[in-house]
Structure 1
């Protein structure tokens, strides 16, 4: 990127240098003043060791890098969007909250007024052993250097971030690519990569406190995502350190660019640079044309559909991906993964086929690495890539059959997990119910709970004029509910992160002839609810029955319509997990905010 300052109008950019103590930073943090824009802030992935080293630097009074913030307004309140320094800000606040130690001792919560107040109210718990109060005071009084920008145009925040992260800092090659563009291809790679890692969020703008729920960690913390559980690491495709370097996004970029073209292109690090527009080339224009021809959403659906086939193969095989392909499991296999992925994609989307037998497909993929010969070196030629993909496609083709309809609609395996994870950062728009029956042993349909489901759907939709939300039935967010279902129905759960998926199959058998009959019963119950015909029609048409590892889950979708939804003659909104009635005296402001 050239240093052309003409792209920024300095006269419209107000820059101030501020020095803030960590104590004041913690106050800002607890007051929800720090926000993260996930369009360019990828993930929290500092290890505990890195966090401890940063705290050590502060306690020893060593200088630390400048933190860059953009002053923004959120609901009429001045807030700060983090341009650079997200890991550092998260670290100082996490240390105060007792998420990790310094020299095996925890921060003394009695040191600060704010942390003591949280301790007294039970929102924070003092862990032991406690760090010496004098050291804690030294940490809290440390002055962090902060640069605050005030912009009249929010697009200039993106420009500043791109420039800062393109000046040779310690970023990986893929991180530099991502920092260099916010165009459609880079955005598509980011979103698909996030779905595969499962660190997805409901919105691109998140409070810094919410980021820890989708942070990637190898420390065994009670929250976040364990790096060992990521698809890429669990299947020995790339290492944990490679994930830190965003090599998973590099693989996704390679595959998305490959399936965009009618014929597989060669690839290399330099070619990816050109796709991202970091080097002048026609490749960027060719890729943009291909994306517009296929459609970004369709391309994403194709990728997720193939990914779900790969995951089901792994599940049935009972071994990780590398061990399925190799008898010798000593090497990392990103290009071998690409060959298999592209071969399946060729059969599904170039030849319009679908899997006929997963058991047969597993058998044909077992040890298939001996039929793959990949050229060494940084560049991977189109010829070698095509030869390998064609060879694997030929070997596994008999496991597929012709598909009569468009294969573009992806199955709901990865999407369902993404939905669960999005609820971590936006509780208001998601709700989970263990099922439709009571857990009192009566085996009866719980009409009160069903009424609450429909009421919740109307309340979520009423939160704003552009709201989408979901209620999942067959998912327990509390283990005691899952244990009770096991006790009553002898149904085991499928655990995903902090969720226990029990499904509603046992209820369908109990209350209906089969799943289809039970589905029709649910539709009829919706029609008898005290809601408008428009709302009935929308909810009925937007129910999905998702099969997740042999557990059927009902997913109700809601969305803001032309006017707020009414339930039994009243309007409701949802705040967190609570449903609040809109009182008549507040109707004017309610309808105004809905617009």
Structure 2
């Protein structure tokens, strides 16, 4: 698939004037010359295209039951569950929520620091309160879907509003995760754990932060989950937390 219209334009601009040429006359362009020319043409064109990641990660495609299972039980004070309504602010007009990525990463670190065997769940596309669900419906025309007393609002309309499709948004966030100031092992684990999930046609994003068996920091800062909130800890307090939760 093409990376973008601009990427294709750049590759094709003066394509045959940059060291490639097709001989004129049928007899002058024999199979030997074709054999050497084809790889060069393919190599240059490939720069403007990418091979989509296989969708095997979307293992719960259109699975209402799966999302239903994620939202079961008391969530309000659960330290290892966090719900986010989406990627846009609910202003008029909506814009990308530039603080969301930082919040999600800090929350993921806090969940991983909950204990040496902890696994959390961050679900984007579920409104945390009725007023947010109503605002999403007003701005994006999305009728909230009630699942386990939660308002599922999805994110596809927001992503399209920001000028992306699902695949490009997926790669964008995975790239941002891997380029963040996290340890390489945790960043890779987190990027792999970020994936789309569909619920009755609504696009959600699931992230499952897992402990790597030791406390981790983010950009030299320490985060933990206390109740349903993510809090930064001073180094001395975090050392005490480590001895309690990672023995």
Relative distance call for 1:442 and 1:536 in structure 2 (3 A) is farther
2:145 equivalent in structure 1: 494
C-alpha separation in 2, matches of 1:423 and 1:538: 27
- Which of 503, 508, 528 is the aligned partner of 2:154? 503
Deviation at 1:535, TM superposition (A): 1.7
Unaligned runs of 5+ in 1: 1-405
C-alpha separation in 2, matches of 1:504 and 1:588: 38
Whether the 8 Å CA contact 1:475–1:501 is kept in 2: the answer is yes
Higher relative contact order (CA 8 A, sep 6+): 2
C-alpha separation in 2, matches of 1:549 and 1:563: 38
Match runs of 1:60-75 below 5 Å: none
- Which of 197, 206, 210 is the aligned partner of 1:559? 210
Bigger fraction of residues in helix = 1
1:464 equivalent in structure 2: 115
What SS does the corresponding residue of 1:520 show, helix, strand or coil? helix
Whether the 8 Å CA contact 2:196–2:204 is kept in 1: the answer is yes
1:21 equivalent in structure 2: none
Residue deviations 1:135-173, cap 9 Å, x none? xxxxxxxxxxxxxxxxxxxxxxxxxxxxxxxxxxxxxxx
C-alpha separation in 1, matches of 2:105 and 2:179: 11
Whether the 8 Å CA contact 1:582–1:590 is kept in 2: the answer is no
Deviation at 1:549, TM superposition (A): 0.7
- Which of 563, 567, 571 is the aligned partner of 2:222? 571
Whether the 8 Å CA contact 1:474–1:554 is kept in 2: the answer is yes
2:165 equivalent in structure 1: 514
Residue deviations 1:279-317, cap 9 Å, x none? xxxxxxxxxxxxxxxxxxxxxxxxxxxxxxxxxxxxxxx
Whether the 8 Å CA contact 2:77–2:228 is kept in 1: the answer is no
C-alpha separation in 2, matches of 1:520 and 1:512: 14
Whether the 8 Å CA contact 1:458–1:572 is kept in 2: the answer is yes
Deviation at 1:591, TM superposition (A): 2.1
Relative distance call for 1:539 and 1:423 in structure 2 (3 A) is farther
Aligned residues: 188
C-alpha separation in 1, matches of 2:163 and 2:213: 35
Deviation at 1:582, TM superposition (A): 2.3
1:536 aligned onto 2:187: yes
1:447 aligned onto 2:89: no
TM-score between both structures, scaled by the size of structure 1: 0.30
Relative distance call for 1:425 and 1:433 in structure 2 (3 A) is closer
1:16 equivalent in structure 2: none
What SS does the corresponding residue of 1:546 show, helix, strand or coil? strand
Deviation at 1:530, TM superposition (A): 2.4
2:69 equivalent in structure 1: 418
C-alpha separation in 2, matches of 1:522 and 1:587: 28
Deviation at 1:529, TM superposition (A): 2.5
Deviation at 1:589, TM superposition (A): 2.1
Whether the 8 Å CA contact 2:75–2:81 is kept in 1: the answer is no
Whether the 8 Å CA contact 1:512–1:518 is kept in 2: the answer is no
Deviation at 1:426, TM superposition (A): 6.0
**Larger Rg computed on CA atoms:** 1
2:21 equivalent in structure 1: none
Whether the 8 Å CA contact 1:463–1:574 is kept in 2: the answer is yes
Deviation at 1:440, TM superposition (A): 1.2
1:480 aligned onto 2:116: no
Whether the 8 Å CA contact 1:423–1:429 is kept in 2: the answer is no
C-alpha separation in 2, matches of 1:568 and 1:442: 32
Match runs of 1:17-96 below 5 Å: none
